Every structure is written in structure tokens, then in C-alpha cells.
Structure 1
Amino acid sequence: MVKRTRFDEESCPVARSVDAVGDWWSLLIVRDAFDGSRRFGDFQRSLGVAKNILSTRLKALADNGILEMVPSGARHDYVLTAKGEALFPVIVALRQWGEAFAFAPGEPHSELLDRCEGRPLRALEVHAADGRLIAPEDTEVRKV
């Protein structure tokens, strides 16, 4: 078995974030948690992932403080923590990128809608502290 490369001591926030939630199963679990999944079986049915892989990913997300295991009868629920809920803009950004680039024009796909208005969300934008819209060329990374 190939040993997974760890990034938990990197000075780059992107690398550390990928270390916590970077594999596709983990991001899809977080997506499903936002959609209301709480039980192991809910995640398993939605994702169709092998139980051993799901168990490993759920444990890692709980160990990283993204999900919390909450007792519920004889079993437990997996609930997003504040740290997990803070991933909402990441999931929305991935969804919007996918809508723009992963589907052919007119190809049907799921939509994330505002519950109050029943309409799709406005595209995410990155703004400077003063409110200006920021493009990649407007930024720089100050490395340690």
C-alpha cells in the first residue's frame, strides 16, 4: 500500500487544508452533510463508497474536528462542527466551478438554491478588505 503524503506541517494554508479534506470522498461527505446526511448509512447510500473507505474518511473528518460524532440511540450521527460549516464557501466554489466547466451546455445537473427565493446563488467573488474585486494577478503570496 502506498503511504499517503502528509502536509500537516507545511507553511502553506492550501497544503494544510488539502491535508484535512483534500481527497474526493471527504469533500463529498462534507457536501452530503450540508445536504442533511447524518448517519453512516445515509452517506453510504448517497456515495456508493465501500464501507471501509467511508469509515476511514468519517473518522478522519471527526479527528480533524470537521465532523462531530453525536450519540443518537444505539448509534451516532455525524454532524458538521463550526469548522466543518466554515467549508460551505469551499463547497459552493467547487459547485460553481463544476457548473461552469464540468458540464456540456444545457446538460442537466443539480442546483444549489436560495431557500427564500428558490433561485441559484450569485457567483462567489473574492474581494479585498476595502471591497474591491480581486483577480489572481492582484494578489501575491508572502512565503515564510
Structure 2
Amino acid sequence: MPSCPPRATKSPVPPEECRLASAAALVGERWTLLILRAAMYGVRRFDDFQAELGCPRTVLSGRLRSLEAAGLFERRPYREPGKRQRHEYLLTPAGRALQPVLIALTQWGDAHLGDGKPGPVGFADSKTRGPVRADFVDTQGREVTAERLRVKLRPR
């Protein structure tokens, strides 16, 4: 069983300086996570997001605007024959960099929220087709277990 960290009376970083708190404020809302998940699976167009998620149009519009302003989505125009110009939303490099976070959340859900069976979605290497998972690795690529992981404050 993993050990708990030593007891502390407060976190080492104030919430207003915490990057986790900032990231959670940006992407931690339910609809935002579902929009990012859909984009990770290839959904790009407003109507497709809306049909996939069932999200109210005004909420979806606001979330897409926020994600674009934060640099996670790029809005690009497209036009289907005989129709007006519209926009699709593509993940930027910063948006795609959230993929390990979404995969880790999915795997956590599989491990702790399911009935012991794998969930409906898994992840695989496109070349080897072997399964992949989100894990901690050191700068040499060696796996680091949760028990060995420690918080390390950086000099300011």
C-alpha cells in the first residue's frame, strides 16, 4: 500500500502561485474537460461538439472562446459547398500537451470508478499497437512509482 506524505500544516505554495490551481481553473470544469476529450478524439466543429456533448450552445460557445483565448484551441475557417463560412476548433500544441493529463484521468477512472473491468477506451502506440499508459518517468526515461515521488520546491 502506498505511503502517505509526511504530515504538513499547509501546502508549500500559496494557491495564487500554484500552477496546478491555475490549470484547474482553466480546464477543470466539466464541460471544458469533455470538450478537450472530444477534441482529443478528433471532434472539431461546433455542431459536432454540441451533438456529442449535449452541452447548451451558449455554454459551448463560451468554453470554446475561453479555450481559444487561453491558447489551447485555434479557430480556423471552413466552408462546405453551398453553405456559409464557419469555424472549426483545432487543438494547439498547448492543447495537445494536455493529452497525457486526460489519459491519466481516464486510467484513474478505470482503476477507481469502474467495476474492475477496463473502460470502453484504451490507448495504444500507433506503430506497435501496444497499450500505453500515463506514468511518472525521470529524465532518463525510468519509471518512478508514486511511493518514490516527492515534491521538490524550485528556487525563486
Give the TM bin, normalised by the shorter chain: 0.7 to 0.9
Displacement of 1:14 after TM fit? Answer: 0.2
Paired-residue identity, %: 34
Displacement of 1:86 after TM fit? Answer: 0.4
Q: Distance in 2 between matches of 1:89 and 1:113?
A: 11
Matches within 5 A, 1:24-103: 24-73=30-79, 74-103=85-114
Q: Is the 8 A contact 1:128 1:134 kept in 2?
A: no
Displacement of 1:97 after TM fit? Answer: 0.5
Q: Which has the larger radius of gyration?
A: 2
Q: Distance in 1 between matches of 2:104 and 2:45?
A: 25
Q: Distance in 1 between matches of 2:21 and 2:91?
A: 22
Corresponding residue for 1:112? 122
Aligned partner of residue 89 in structure 2, secondary structure: strand
Q: Distance in 2 between matches of 1:137 and 1:10?
A: 27
Cα RMSD over matched residues?
2.2
Q: Given the two structures, how large is their TM-score scaled by the length of structure 1?
A: 0.82
Q: Distance in 2 between matches of 1:51 and 1:98?
A: 28
Q: For each residue in 1:64-88, what CA deviation from the matched residue of structure 2 results, as whole angstroms up to 9, or x when unmatched?
A: 0101110112101000001101001
Aligned residue among 134, 140, 143 for 1:124: 134
**Could you say if the C-alpha distance between residues 89 and 113 of structure 1 is closer, same or farther in structure 2, counting changes exceeding 3 Å?**
closer
2:69 partner letter: D
Corresponding residue for 1:3? none
1:67 partner letter: F
Q: What count of residue pairs does the alignment treat as equivalent?
A: 134
Which segments of 5 or more consecutive residues in structure 2 lack a partner in the other structure?
1-14, 80-84
Q: Is the 8 A contact 1:38 1:77 kept in 2?
A: yes
Q: Distance in 2 between matches of 1:77 and 1:138?
A: 40
Displacement of 1:128 after TM fit? Answer: 2.6
